Amino acid sequence: MDERSQSSLEPEKPQDLPEGVFTDLAELPGDTFITEEALAKMMNRCRKTIKRSVQRRELPPSVSFIGQKGWIVDSILNHVKQRLQDAARALEDQKRRFDSYHP
């Protein structure tokens, strides 16, 4: 297979996305198992950063599957969505408390 036919098999990526926008994970089927190493490569981070993100609860705990640690894609996306909802709720609670101090 030559370079031209190989590159035509790769999905096209939008070139105008700003740095820090990650779509690779969302494009995978939700039940896809992704290893810590694969996630690190997708996010352009080292594996240690991914492990630290788990410790900080930015990512859900990984599980061992066939000798490699990782997640099901949906578990990562759902975890991030839940964290965003929790943060929005906390902000609303804080706003309500603040508003109650002022007549």
pLDDT tens digits along 35-71: 999 999 999 999 999 999 999 999 999 999 999 999 9
Judged by DSSP in three states, 30 sits in: coil
Report residue 95 CA to chain centroid gap.
Answer: 28
For the cut 70, the answer to whether the pLDDT of residue 6 exceeds it is no
For residues 46 and 20, give the distance between their C-alpha atoms in angstroms, rounded to a whole number.
15
pLDDT of residue 102: 67
Domain count, the chain: 1
For residues 26 and 37, give the distance between their C-alpha atoms in angstroms, rounded to a whole number.
17
Residue 98 forms part of a structural domain = yes
For residues 35 and 90, give the distance between their C-alpha atoms in angstroms, rounded to a whole number.
32
Residue 18 forms part of a structural domain = no
Residue 48 forms part of a structural domain = yes
CATH of residue 96's domain is 1.10.1660
Say what percent of the chain tops pLDDT 90: 62
Q: Which domain holds residue 83?
A: 32-103
Residue 23 forms part of a structural domain = no
Residue 62 forms part of a structural domain = yes
Residue 16 forms part of a structural domain = no
Name the β-bridge partners of 64. Answer: 69
Residue 72 forms part of a structural domain = yes
